A and B are shown apart, each in its own frame.
Chain A
């Protein structure tokens, strides 16, 4: 099994993310991770989503931005040895379809995560002023008084999740400075 004997593709790693079914497999992989985390008995749904987000960001950071080089020897005398997979993708061409997809996925994931963890605020039409202490009704049915809202903010999960995904977004958006 030799690289580059039967074709002129010097580094096959560059084409992996463009292969057929790779994007679907990636989404399914995130889904699988989520389902595995959902099976933890004591974790609530917002915690599980946050964990999915965090673990996904961590894995993508390690695989795309930390591990350098190729798992096989390439015939280009090691030009890719110091490049991470993100830098190797498409030979360093920026803003290709795969790069855009991989940039958008953590953003979408963090939006889903924050929508589930901190629900959308719904304002009720108040017919009488006496019911102002009722509080804000959230889309999951329960009412949120000021005390509940404060408790949820202490949860802090969203803050971690947002920080994690923004970190991955920034590293994902950085153009490969080491390449060329």
Chain B
């Protein structure tokens, strides 16, 4: 569908239900067909000062422990080079390891916990203890059963080992084997791959799609095929490492705009077009704006209508990475484009991964037919990387058909709706309790601020004691004061599980004094499981 240019309508009121491109800095709310509620409450000053004090004390103790280790008063567990290699150039700089050995090691039991069941809504963990303060772990032999899993990216609950997806994957393994052992361009192109690609294109509403075996590699191997020297990449501040790596590998000039800030992006676009390439001032060969659908560390959703408006005005291209938002947003689960009610043809390159909502692995790129044909021969991944293995392909096909409703049931539709309900309920209850939550009201990724370094470890451990598994993140993966616990809501969570989780979080929050929010919200009197009405926009 070719959309006519709407130059003459700029500045006038929109006609019909769908938004149209218009002047950027005004009429923000009318571009969105639903309220866009994002909040990133500022850190209270006292908490910030105490956090710095905490890091200062930890640093002083780190230096003290290093001193003790150096003078052999304390036993040194760190890997060292052998005696014979003492005079060689050292492999690692001592100081670079400071944070790992003095801060990370102390709370290391909150990460890399081994699980021994499928990571669905509940998961079994292997219990482990440490006698030397987390340098080595031993398994006690016991299994912690039925830990409520708030850490897996299991948005639609397809992480299960029973059901139609698992059965069809097992069947296909019998027929095709476990691996393909070849690249797409050689003999690794199965008929299942072709079917999957047609299905993905139909799911997203675009002309054509291509799938790759690894989500990270989809970004890092394909952006170099799309841009090169003489091109400009405008990437968001909080883009994932795969996008950053792909942008660097491509050799283009990279400029970073402030997170989700459309004024910053517009300024960069204008400067780029006016001044051209850095020394020669020649026009850029192409300008590619790289954004993500949901940013998993902040829980924010990209302002897609405004980005598309900018892209059309300044004739740039848009690369949208829907790693977390595909399947998790939108009334039909088609991602952030569906969430805003936009036309998928407006986005030039749609990228996503199957790891999160589909319970599989791998990534896809979708767009116009010419683009995908070009990528089939020029993508690094298509030429050198092994193609997706058959059981994974089958899992994606079955789960995608389930979401689309093509398997004859309404399971997919129910799950999408349940995820939206769970998200709204969970976020609202956490906010009412007084925690600081970042991000958009509709995003299933819920970062809850902890701030102080000691509370990172304390929160993870206290939650595990009460049988709930959470993911905590700290510096340097986040800014220095903004350490957080990140909850990922799933459609597989029942209301009882969420209520139990919320009561435990409230209890631990009172114990650790985590309720920092200074905005008081009245507890809503309506029932928690409201019907969420998704507006269908018709022309």
Q: A: which residues have CB within 8 A of B?
A: 1-9, 12, 15-16, 19-22, 24-25, 28-29, 67-73, 75, 78, 81
Contact = CB atoms under 8 A, between A and B. Distances in A.
Contacts of A12: 475-476, 479-480
The interface residues of chain A, by DSSP majority, are classed as loop
A56 to B, nearest CB: 14
A137 B413 CA distance: 88
A143 B185 CA distance: 95
Interface residues of B, number: 39
B100 interface: yes
B98 interface: yes
A63 B256 CA distance: 29
A57 B239 CA distance: 39
B477 A81 contact: no
Nearest to B47: A21
B313 to A, nearest CB: 25
Contact of B479 (A15, A29, A73): A15
Contacts of A15: 479-480
Contacts of A9: 237
A69 B51 CA distance: 22
Contacts of A3: 476-477
28 contacts: A1-B104, A3-B477, A4-B241, A5-B241, A6-B241, A6-B473, A6-B478, A7-B237, A7-B239, A7-B478, A8-B239, A8-B256, A12-B475, A15-B479, A15-B480, A19-B479, A21-B43, A22-B48, A24-B48, A25-B48, A25-B53, A29-B56, A71-B98, A71-B99, A72-B98, A73-B96, A78-B93, A81-B93
Most B C-beta atoms less than 10 A away, residue of A15, A29, A73: A73
Interface of B: 42-43, 45, 48-49, 51-53, 56, 93, 95-100, 104, 111, 235-241, 243-244, 256, 296-297, 473-481
Nearest to B95: A69
Contacts of A67: 95
Given A5-B240, A72-B96, A16 B49 contact: no
Contacts of A7: 237-239, 297, 477-478
A28 B297 contact: no
B48 to A, nearest CB: 3
A73 B51 CA distance: 22
Given A6-B238, A8-B236, 16 more contacts: A1-B476, A5-B241, A6-B297, A6-B473, A6-B478, A8-B243, A15-B479, A20-B42, A20-B48, A20-B481, A24-B49, A69-B93, A71-B95, A71-B99, A73-B96, A78-B93
B414 to A, nearest CB: 31
A25 B240 CA distance: 31
Nearest to B51: A21
Contacts of B477: 1-3, 5-7
A21 B45 contact: yes
Contact of B481 (A21, A28, A29, A68): A21
Contacts of A78: 93, 96
Contacts of B95: 67-71
Most B C-beta atoms less than 10 A away, residue of A4, A7, A71: A7
A39 to B, nearest CB: 19
A19 to B, nearest CB: 5
A1 B45 contact: no
A5 B238 CA distance: 9
A71 B94 CA distance: 9
Given A5-B241, A6-B240, A21-B43, A72 B476 contact: yes
A21 B52 contact: yes
Most A C-beta atoms less than 10 A away, residue of B45, B56, B241: B241
Nearest to B48: A21
Top 9 A-B pairs, shortest CB-CB distance: A21-B48, A71-B98, A25-B52, A71-B99, A72-B99, A6-B297, A12-B476, A3-B476, A5-B241
Contacts of B56: 29
A8 B96 contact: no
A27 B162 CA distance: 60
B79 to A, nearest CB: 14
B100 A19 contact: no
Nearest to B244: A8
A153 B478 CA distance: 52
Contacts of A29: 56
Given A1-B474, A19-B481, A25-B49, A69 B96 contact: yes
A6 to B, nearest CB: 4
Contacts of B42: 20
A8 B45 CA distance: 26
Nearest to A4: B241
B43 A20 contact: yes
Nearest to A8: B244
Contacts of A71: 95-96, 98-99
A18 to B, nearest CB: 10
Contacts of B238: 6-8
Contacts of A1: 99-100, 104, 111, 473-477
A51 B215 CA distance: 57
Contacts of B296: 6
Given A6-B478, A12-B479, A28 B49 contact: yes
B42 to A, nearest CB: 7
Contacts of A69: 93, 95-96
Given A9-B237, A12-B480, A22 B96 contact: no
A9 B476 CA distance: 10
B56 to A, nearest CB: 8
A25 B473 CA distance: 23
Nearest to A76: B248
A175 to B, nearest CB: 22
A81 B96 contact: yes
A84 to B, nearest CB: 12
A28 B50 CA distance: 11
Contacts of A6: 238, 240-241, 296-297, 473, 477-478
